[in-house]
Amino acid sequence: MTMLDKFSRRIRQLNLLFKPPTELRRRFKRHAIDFEVEVTVGGRSSKRRAVDVSAGGILVTPVINAELRESVRITINGLLTNTPARVVGLRPETTALQFESDAHGAVLTAWLLESAGNTRAQ
C-alpha cells in the first residue's frame, strides 16, 4: 500500500470520528472506582480491585488468568454473589468483564458508586 493509498484510506475513515457505527459506541457511562471484588474463573477465586464500572461491565486489576470470552463469576460482599460475566478484554494490567445481565450491572454500579461516596465521606 502506497503512502497515497494510506492517506486516502484515513480520509475516508474520518467520518467514524464524528458518527461511529452503533456497535462501536458505548451503551453505558463508565465510572472510576476503587473497590475489592472476588472473581472466580474455573472454580478458582481471587481478589481483585475494580477500577471502572458501568451497567455493562467492570474493569479489574491485576490481570485475571483467563481466556477471551471465558465465563467468570463476580462476587461483591454485601451485594452480589456469583454474578455471571464474560472476559471481553485482556490488557497488560487489567481485565475487562462484561456482565451477562444489564440488570446486575445497573444494581452493581449504583451500589458501588454509593459505597464509594460513603467511603470518601468518612
Pairs from 19-27 (Cβ < 8 Å, separation ≥ 24): 26/54, 26/56, 27/55, 27/56
pLDDT tens profile 42-90? 999 999 999 988 888 899 999 999 999 999 999 987 677 888 999 999 9
Separation CA 27–CA 39 (nearest Å): 24
pLDDT tens profile 94-121? 999 999 988 888 887 887 777 766 443 3
pLDDT computed for residue 17 by the predictor: 64
26 pLDDT band (50/70/90 cuts)?
low
Q: Which residue has the higher pLDDT, 64 or 24?
A: 64
pLDDT computed for residue 1 by the predictor: 67
pLDDT computed for residue 62 by the predictor: 95
pLDDT computed for residue 121 by the predictor: 32
Distance of CA 88 to the CA centre of its chain: 8
Assess contact for 64 and 87: CB atoms under 8 A: yes
- pTM of model > 0.75: no
pLDDT computed for residue 24 by the predictor: 53
Would you say domain 28-121 falls under CATH 2.40.10.430? yes
pLDDT computed for residue 85 by the predictor: 94
